[in-house]
Amino acid sequence: MFNSIALLFFPLFMALAATSDLLTMKISNRLVLLLMVGFFVLALVLNFSLQQFMMHIAAGALVLVFAFTFFAFGWIGGGDAKLAAATSLWLGFGITLPYLIYSALLGGVLTLGLLVIRRYPLPIMLGRVEWIARLHDQKTGIPYGIALAVAGLIAYSDTSIFQTLIV
């Protein structure tokens, strides 16, 4: 039972992050903090070696530095930066590079798709739905947390955490 709950923790929080970003264009600090705490608890329960634990911390920290640089240039939102770092904490160094590549590709598709959709008028019925109207507004950013979360879900099955819990 514990393995099932632990196995689903990360995917649940990725789904919550994507949904939150889609509906509100925000990823809450609380959600990112819970994702991080979940990793620390699971690392302790799974008895990570100090080296393995520190490599996960280093992956998250390195992504945080780069992501906040991107945030400082206005390329991504602060919630996106924190989500990318927390996700990398779960993935570790071995999986972080593929995760970032998946994120970039999915984010590009999402961005291009929204830019194309935003060129056309929104049907009146859809315009009454607040989150759809916000998403369609050309002045609004891109909910990049969706790409980050989906990329995290794609990469998750290759992690040592997943591999340990699946047995």
Three-state SS letters, 45-97: HCCCCHHHHHHHHHHHHHHHHHHHHHHHCCCCCHHHHHHHHHHHHHHCHHHHH
- Render pLDDT for 85-125 as a digit per residue (tens, 0 to 9): 999 999 999 999 999 999 999 999 999 999 999 999 999 99
pLDDT band at 142 (very low <50, low <70, confident <90, very high): very high
Question: What average pLDDT score do residues 52-74 get?
Answer: 96
pLDDT at 39 over 90: yes
Percent of the chain whose pLDDT exceeds 90 = 90
Predicted TM-score of the model (pTM): 0.94
- Mean pLDDT within 18-27: 96
Who has greater pLDDT, 102 or 166?
A: 102
What does the pLDDT average to over 36-54?
A: 95
Average model confidence (pLDDT) for the chain? 95
What is the rounded CA–CA span in Å between residue 148 and residue 165?
Answer: 23
